[in-house]
Structure 1
Amino acid sequence: MMKRVIIVGGGYAGANLARALDSRAEVCLVEAREHFVHNVAAIRSVVDPSLLAKIVIPYDRLLRRGRVRQGIVASAFDGGVMLADGATIEGDIVIVATGSHYARPFKPTLHGARAFEDGVKAAHASLLATDRVTIVGAGAVGVELAGEISTAHPRKRVTLVSGASTLMPGYSAKLARSLEAQLRAKGVAIHLSTRVESLDATDSPYLGTLPGMPYAAENQLIFPALGARPITAIFRHMPAAYFDAQGRVRVDAWLRPAGAQRLFALGDAAATGDPMTIVAITRQVPWLAKIIAATLAGESPKSLPAYVPWSSRGILVPLGPRDGASMLPLMRDGVLVGNWTTALIKGRELFIPRYRKEFGYARKCA
């Protein structure tokens, strides 16, 4: 009899793992939303909302053998999960891949794809209605957004503000310098080591003023881009769970939290040593798929190689379809590549054809 694997969360980590295990186990993917949202392209959709028809994709073609069940998981344990409605799903292995939150409209919420689309369209309308844009936060989302807006609307006055002393804090200084030079060439005003004391909202863009900043009195479109927050409510019900400074659940060398034996954590919610990026998922998912296949065959995870994160922090940061810079997680310190390679890997198509194909929608829009 084929064994059951329950995966909680249908984002990048959960969906990719579900596909990898579909032929090896009876996979049940539990996801709160009815559609997958390819949020890698959400930043560009703010300047080009026509992308929405391509990046909001139903789950109905993701798996051939397994199934996707819509629901909210309240708790997980060795042997199964309990849904918010009280139903229990039993399984031989459970993987929790609940991902992370981000300010709207860059990631969907539990309210579903329609709310996500409405948020993107509202941000786009506000963008068209104003000449000045201020982005608060100079991590990957803030930097990429500044690049997309300044590329699509070169006459708009775009300002990027950060309390950090450099763009892309936590990443290579060479990467930060390359991105800063390109943004300045596009006319983006950059204010580093500048803390914004007051925001009217931190979870969505808004039209308003920004006290203490240049052009403070001018009405402007303000985008909070203050970083991702891991979704870890499920783990907080586990008495033995511990969390790192980012709020990610701590895991053992085989990505198991809270002393669990057959329950694993994956992706943004897990303190794997990787950053919260898709680049990290490309390492975690194949490794965990092998661990689970071996575990289902009767091997102990501890008899298998432990997880080792990338030796360097890799990330891809396009600044529009043609520009940008990336750090590839190769060799000890990573390899910096410029706009041509960044555009080839990510910037031109934002992985849209790949994910539409993986979800079975390669030829027509959802």
Structure 2
Amino acid sequence: MDETVVVVGGGYGGAAVAKALDAHADVVLVEPRDAFVHSAGSLRALVRPEWAPNMFFRYDRLLSRGRVVRARAASVDAAGVTLESGERIDAGHVVLASGSGYPYPAKTRTDVAAEALAQLRETHRELAGAARVLIAGAGPVGLELAGEIKAVWPDKQVTIVDPAERIVPAFAPEMRADLHRQLDERGIGLRLGTRLSAEPPVEPGRARTFTVDGITADIWFRAYGVDVRTSHLGPDLAAARTPAGRVRVTPHLNVEGFPNVYALGDVTDLDEAKMAGYAMRHAEVVAANIAARVRGEEPTETYTPSPIPSVLLPLGPDGGVGQFPTPDGPLVVSAETVAEYKGRDLFIDRFVELFGTEPLTEAEAASGAVPAAEAASEAVSAGRR
């Protein structure tokens, strides 16, 4: 069996599965960005620009045997990947890990770390001069953004609007009550059951005073709207796509109908929140099953979403709410626990271990001097099709 594994997408799940398979197969990770982006740190990076380089990690030390090819996939089929350049990477196994897009600043708008850092700092300057902030969307992203803003600028007026009648409705009432308490303590306004009649007449992240539906603010951010990245699937794999654009998978995380193709993370149709932690658990299952197939064995690892959702939702470095599943039901955790697990460092140490290096330095991130992954043309010229 061809031991080449091509992983499409170097986000949380893609990087983890590539690393786990590096000792077992010929791994090619296809990723257009020049550095891994720790998107869970983007909201902290917005309000604390001195911290921002911590969300970028170089790819050049992720793999020992395999390689990272900086390129964008134009078409992916069950036999490999065709890059936008027209170059082809054939593979015995394909992993779909292309993730999803989300409005800035929760996710960056560029594939270049230096540009992303410059954009975050420009938006920071806009935000710093705004007294009143409107956030459209009271999901975890909108709530976390509000908490990060208040942690740095406690005197800013922050208002969140959402058409839903309740925040985080899938979670335990005790967690929701604690969340409301902490939002009240921070002076974060909630207008639930409220749908804006029109978007504010200014680009998100740009400071300009406006009034919409009786709400006056100086800057606003959009915290809703996921764009699943599966448009590059070829006709064979596209048949497994749902109307929402996600990919149907089996308990082994195979794409339905394709025993050599796997999917993980945001692109899957699994009934669970799309979170980095889940994507990295998917990566463990996918890596074990591909390693088994490379050894000539039948895959045995399966994945079943928990009926009890979990979350760690910081409200700045020292606040937040969380819930874990247990055999006895949901376990609601304290703000101190959220801060200890996630809020204070946002899991930076975990990614130092994964990528085998510290985050980018200030000089590397600002200058664009990121040690590059090999370009697609270099991989092909070296005979690595």
Could you tell me whether the CA contact under 8 Å between 1:178 and 1:325 is conserved in 2? yes
Q: Cα deviations across residues 185-228 of structure 1 (Å, max 9, x unaligned)?
A: 1111111111112114898423342410333xxx4110110143
SS at match of 1:206: coil
Return the offset for 1:339: 0.5
Q: In structure 1, what is the Cα distance between the partners aligned to 2:203 and 2:114?
A: 17
1:337 matches 2:333: yes
CA drift at 1:290 = 1.1
Name the SS for the 1:98 alignment partner. coil
Q: Which amino acid aligns with 1:228?
A: V
Match of 1:319 in 2: 315
TM-score (norm 2): 0.87
Name the counterpart of 1:212: 213
Query: Could you tell me how far apart the structure 2 residues matched to 1:262 and 1:38 are?
Result: 29
Q: Using a 3 Å threshold, how does the CA distance of structure 1 residues 201 and 49 change in structure 2: closer, same or farther?
A: farther
1:269 aligns with 2:267: yes
Q: 1:364 to 1:95 in 2, by over 3 A?
A: closer
Give unmatched runs, 5+ long, in structure 1: none
Contact 1:240–1:258 (CA<8 Å) still a contact in 2?
Answer: no
Q: Deviations over 1:258-279 (max 9, x none)?
A: 5222111110111122210022
Farther off after superposition, 47-56 or 187-196: 47-56
Shift of 1:250: 1.8
Tell me how far apart the structure 1 counterparts of residues 17 and 61 of structure 2 sit (CA, whole Å).
Answer: 15
Partner of 2:281: 283
**Structure 1 segments of 4 or more deviating over 6 A?**
none
Q: Is the 8 A contact 1:8 1:95 kept in 2?
A: yes
2:22 aligned residue: 22
Q: SS at 1:122's partner residue?
A: helix
CA contact (8 A) 1:235 1:249 kept: no
Structure 1 residue 364, shift from structure 2 partner:
7.0
* Contact 2:31–2:69, Cα closer than 8 Å, also in 1: yes
Q: Distance in 1 between matches of 2:349 and 2:70?
A: 25
Distance 2:158 2:55 in 1: 26
Among 231, 248, 252, the residue aligned to 2:250:
252
Partners in 2 of 1:103 and 1:169 — Cα distance? 22
Quick check: 196-205 or 98-107, which moved more?
196-205
In structure 2, how many angstroms separate the alpha carbons of the residues matched to 1:35 and 1:357?
15
Deviates more, 1:88-97 or 1:309-318: 309-318
**Match for residue 293 of structure 2?**
295
Aligned in 2, Cα 1:54/1:109: closer, same or farther, shift over 3 Å? same
- Matches for 1:152-167 after TM superposition, within 5 Å: 152-167=152-167
* Larger RCO: 1 or 2 (CA < 8 Å, sep 6+): 2
Displacement of 1:325 = 0.7
RMSD: 2.2
Q: Deviations over 1:137-189 (max 9, x none)?
A: 01111000111111111111111111111122444443322212101111111
Residue 75 and residue 171 in structure 1: after superposition, are their counterparts in 2 closer, same or farther (change >3 A)? farther
Gaps of 5+ in 2: 365-385
Amino acid at match of 2:89: I
Whole-angstrom distance in 1 between the partners of 2:201 and 2:171: 27
- Measured in 2, the distance between the counterparts of 1:27 and 1:250 equals 24
SS at match of 2:326: coil
- Paired position in structure 1 for 2:342: 346
Offset of residue 87 of structure 1: 0.8
The letter of the residue matching 1:243 is T
Contact 1:135-1:146 at 8 Å conserved across structures: yes
What corresponds to 1:93 in structure 2?
93
CA distance, structure 1, for counterparts of residue 206 and residue 87 of structure 2: 39
The alignment partner of 1:253 has SS state of coil
Match in the other structure for 1:132: 132
Against the structure 1 CA distance between its residues 263 and 51, is the aligned structure 2 distance closer, same or farther, given a 3 Å change threshold? same
1-structure distance, mates of 2:360, 2:207: 36
Q: 2: CA distance between counterparts of 1:116 and 1:169?
A: 33
Query: Please, which moves more after superposition, 48-57 or 185-194?
Result: 48-57
SS at match of 1:328: strand
Q: Residues 65-96 of structure 1, C-alpha deviation per residue, up to 9 Å, x if partnerless? A: 11100001111122211111111101111101
Query: What residue in structure 1 maps to residue 374 of structure 2?
Result: none
Q: What is the CA–CA distance in structure 1 between the aligned matches of 2:349 and 2:301, rounded to whole Å? A: 33
Which one-letter code corresponds to 1:212 in the other structure?
D
TM-score (norm 1): 0.92
Judge conservation of contact 2:23–2:65 (CA < 8 Å) in 1.
Answer: yes
Secondary structure (helix, strand or coil) at the match of 1:191 reads strand
SS in 2 for 1:207: coil
* Distance (whole Å) between structure 2 residues aligned to residue 363 and residue 33 of structure 1: 15
Asked whether the 8 Å contact 1:107–1:116 carries over to 2, the reply is: no
Whether the 8 Å CA contact 1:94–1:264 is kept in 2: the answer is: yes
SS of equivalent residue, structure 1 residue 65: coil
CA offsets 1:337-357 (integer angstroms, 9 cap, x no match): 010110010001011122133
Is the contact made by 1:103 and 1:202 (CA closer than 8 Å) also made in structure 2?
Answer: no
| Aligned residue pair count | 360
